[in-house]
Amino acid sequence: MRRLLCLIALFSLPALAQTDAELVATRSAEFSQKIANEHPRLLIRPADLPTLRAFFKELPAQPDSAALAKLALPALDNKPLIPEPRAVKNGTSEGTKLWQAGYKAANDTAAWAQRYALGWLLTEDPAYGREAARWLLHLASWSIDRDTYRSNDELFIQSLRPMLFAYDWAYGALSEDERKTVSRALIARMEVLASQVQPKFSLTRPTTPDNSLSHPMRFISTLGQGGLVLLHDTKAAPGWLAWSYEYYLRQFPVWGGPAGGWAEGLNYWSTGITQHQRFLEGMAILGFSEPLARPFWRNTAYFGVYNQMPYGGSFFGDLNNIANPSGSIALILEKAAILNRDPYPLAYARLLRQKPPTSFGYYTYDGIDAFLQRFRTGQAALPEVRLADLPQSLYFDDIGVVSMHSALGAADDIMLGFRSSPQGSASHGFSDQNSFVLNAYGQPLAISSGYREYYGSPHHDGWSRQTKSKNALLFGGEGQRIKDASASGTITRFADGASFSFATGDASRAYAPHAERALRHVFFVNRRYFVMLDEASAAEAVKFQWQLHARSEMSLAPERGEITQQQKDARLTVRFLSPAATALTMRQSDAFEPPVGASYQAKMPNEWHVTTETRSPAKQQDFLTLLYPWRANEAGLPNVQTLPAGKGFAASIGNDIVLIARAAEKQVDAAGWQLAGMAASFSSEGDTLRFSLIEARGLAGPLELSASAALSLEGIRTPHGLSLSATLREPLSLRLRPGFGVKTLSGAQSWQQQADGSVLLQLAAGPLQLSLQR
């Protein structure tokens, strides 16, 4: 299902040769003609009101819905108006406190106006209309202008967006003079917003990721909502609405692409998508749903499904060392499911077991959104589905993130996220190319370390953004460039099957000038553990550092080259297979450099950091590591041995043999196997051999094959036969020596039994299920 969504054909768009102005003019005329001059328009239509009011009356009697009903109808207690806050810039500890206080006061004020306006829509009680008017007129009296935007753009936007909703919803309760007063204030603020947002983006050309674009991109949603609300109030409004709609249709977002990823990480995805999704849902309700058909919007819910753990896991990007699920995130997934008629995000939203959001903060969905979603959900039933039917790993090629799972959503799931992003460390992305996070058994075991007391603090810039705070390599203590879109990585290989995943990242560009080569290969073997190979070379001889970060102190066994981290009953053991333990040193610290600001220390406790370093400087170094998650009630790490290899690397891990090659060689000769390919695993259970091959052209040993093109596959050989499964990118010829005479064969276009006992097959591109029987 998820793979099919990626293949959705783009609908017809007007010719790209059109200018921005031409696109806006055409769309403005359409909106002016088709959107009636009536209120409400934002998320609620006049035609919805009878059904919505009936729903509201019945809501308190429904299970778990009384709280939503209460939120939708606040008390009429003549609450004192909140004074207009000062617009203060952030960037220092004290300045940031005032900056945050300003936007929180602005949001609180505008949210009360919106809540009373909804109360009037639901009840038609004049008292609610008067309260909405009181708060709206108070907001209209504030001195919100261009200087406000430049000093505190969050105060600007957080006072504006709920105010637009309040004006739209309470329109019928306002007098003509009140409408003029509020409309005049809104138009002036919208003119400022348009002047600050529109010049940064183009409707006809992609926008390059830039450190200055995070807030303006989020504000596009409010520009569209303002254009919709004021559509018939000012000549400029149709253009604001049309420009915003066309941007979502053609270019959105800077931070992702068709796969649905978000390069700034989960936090900025979840706090941004609420704004964008709210606007596009509102337009879809009015009959304008073209942007939602784009692949990004079909797929972005899966960015949450595969990366937001059902508990506080770790992920990449700003404010993501621990990423907690929330009612707002569950609501994003639920909305996506209903808008796309796709039941899988809804299944995951329910698995998160979050209560509907009840707060009224700007960055998340709020109690009103939850109330309206309960109303919408009752009108759109979706079938029950199993998350086990989805691919267990997914590659977000737009942002260079691979998310590997053993049992998506299950209590015993093992998840490793691997990042090597074409967007580098721009905006709220960090210098973490070729780094990983690992969450397993309900716990974050290998984390993206560091905090943000405030944006750009010494700790934020000097630690959290830096490669030294990530599970990544350092070259002589040096990491990657920060705040730099060109400090990028690339996922050069992703292979996936039912029992394995494999990915390669190249972060050489991000480490320049310190590195000449920085490759990391990650092999998820039997969806049980990970074998990781780093290939590193520096411009000059240095000591190399392999970093691991965790929430609590780790146990070190340097004589075995071993690190064990535990969180409750979850464990992660890292064993260095190459180089030998004697060639490495290990040190551990719970200190940050630079430290977290003193006033934040209590709520931002230290984390633990292990640095494994080579004893001798060299220009080139390979690291072969085993990452083995386990539970406290299990035996722990099985018997592990590094095996001699003529080329490449090999290890025995319990009953498994794992082979992995250097990228330039693609050959391994070890343990009785000769592999022409990137990697392989073999698991023996009595007379049964289970195996997987990664980008293999040939294999010799107890099982032999050769192919006309590299392929990744998995298979089982038993005393009765041999079965193979794969997805082939192209037609190819495959020669197998199964070790028995073949009587029946299925799954090939054609096959021939050769005199030497081998079988020659012709295979078509696409899914392959091959069976050879004695």
All domains of the chain in start order, with CATH: 2-389 (1.50.10.100), 393-637 (2.70.98.70)
Residues 705-734 pLDDT 10s: 999 999 999 999 999 999 999 999 999 999
What are the CA-CA distances from residue 319 to residues 187, 192, 313, 404, 699 (Å)? 34, 30, 12, 22, 45
Q: Are 320 and 266 in contact (CB under 8 A)?
A: yes
Residues 551-593 pLDDT 10s: 999 999 999 999 999 999 999 999 999 999 999 999 999 999 9
* Burial class of residue 717 in the structure, from the number of CB atoms within 10 Å of its CB (0-12 exposed, 13-18 middle, 19+ buried): buried
Q: How confident is the model at residue 379 (pLDDT cuts 50, 70, 90)?
A: low
Q: How confident is the model at residue 109 (pLDDT cuts 50, 70, 90)?
A: very high
Q: Are 174 and 224 in contact (CB under 8 A)?
A: no
* Burial class of residue 137 in the structure, from the number of CB atoms within 10 Å of its CB (0-12 exposed, 13-18 middle, 19+ buried): middle
Give me the mean pLDDT over the 433-438 stretch. 98
Residues 51-67 pLDDT 10s: 999 999 999 888 778 88
Q: What is the 3-state secondary structure (H, E, C) of 25-47?
A: HHHHHHHHHHCCCCCCCCCCCHH
Tell me the residue type at 465: R
Give me the mean pLDDT over the 277-301 stretch. 97
Give me the mean pLDDT over the 342-347 stretch. 96
pLDDT at 65: 84
- Looking at the predicted structure, is the pLDDT value of residue 4 above 60? no
Residues 139-170 pLDDT 10s: 999 999 999 999 999 999 999 999 999 999 99
Give me the mean pLDDT over the 413-426 stretch. 98
pLDDT at 91: 87
pLDDT at 465: 98
Give me the mean pLDDT over the 511-539 stretch. 98
* Burial class of residue 605 in the structure, from the number of CB atoms within 10 Å of its CB (0-12 exposed, 13-18 middle, 19+ buried): exposed
- Looking at the predicted structure, is the pLDDT value of residue 505 above 50? yes
Residues 6+ positions from 581 with CB-CB distance below 8 Å: 558, 559, 560, 561, 562
Q: What share of the chain is helix, strand, coil (3-state, %, to 5)?
A: 35, 30, 40
Q: Which tokens belong to 348?
A: 């995951």
Q: Are 133 and 140 in contact (CB under 8 A)?
A: no
Residues listed for the chain: 774
Q: Are 6 and 14 in contact (CB under 8 A)?
A: no
| Rounded Cα gap, residues 741 and 176, in angstroms | 90
Give me the mean pLDDT over the 23-47 stretch. 97
pLDDT at 62: 83
- Looking at the predicted structure, is the pLDDT value of residue 17 above 70? no
Q: Which tokens belong to 604?
A: 């931002």
What is the side-by-side strand order in the sheet with 515-525?
Answer: 490-496, 500-506, 515-525, 529-542, 618-631, 570-578, 562-567, 555-557
- Looking at the predicted structure, is the pLDDT value of residue 39 above 80? yes
- What's the start-to-end Cα distance of the chain, in Å? 35
- Looking at the predicted structure, is the pLDDT value of residue 5 above 90? no
Q: What pairs with residue 402 in β-bridges?
A: 395, 418
Using a pLDDT cut of 90, give the percent of the chain over it: 92
Q: How confident is the model at residue 9 (pLDDT cuts 50, 70, 90)?
A: very low
Buried (b) or exposed (e) across 162-191, using 16+ Cβ within 10 A? bbbbbbbbbbebbeeebbebbbebbeebbb
Beta-strand relationship, 673-676 and 688-700: antiparallel
| Rounded Cα gap, residues 519 and 58, in angstroms | 59
Q: Are 105 and 154 in contact (CB under 8 A)?
A: no
∠ Cα 128 134 135 (to 5°): 95
Tell me if residue 192 falls in helix, strand or coil. helix
Q: For residue 430, is it left (φ>0), alpha (ψ between -120 and 50) or beta?
A: beta
Q: Are 153 and 159 in contact (CB under 8 A)?
A: no
Give me the mean pLDDT over the 646-653 stretch. 97
Q: Are 71 and 371 in contact (CB under 8 A)?
A: yes
Q: Which tokens belong to 606?
A: 């230290």
Give me the mean pLDDT over the 313-321 stretch. 96
Q: What is the mean pLDDT of the chain?
A: 95
Q: Which tokens belong to 602?
A: 């209590």
Residues 6+ positions from 314 with CB-CB distance below 8 Å: 320, 321, 322, 323, 437, 438, 439, 444, 446, 447, 448
Residues 203-237 pLDDT 10s: 999 999 999 999 999 999 999 999 999 999 999 99
* Burial class of residue 355 in the structure, from the number of CB atoms within 10 Å of its CB (0-12 exposed, 13-18 middle, 19+ buried): exposed
Give me the mean pLDDT over the 87-97 stretch. 90
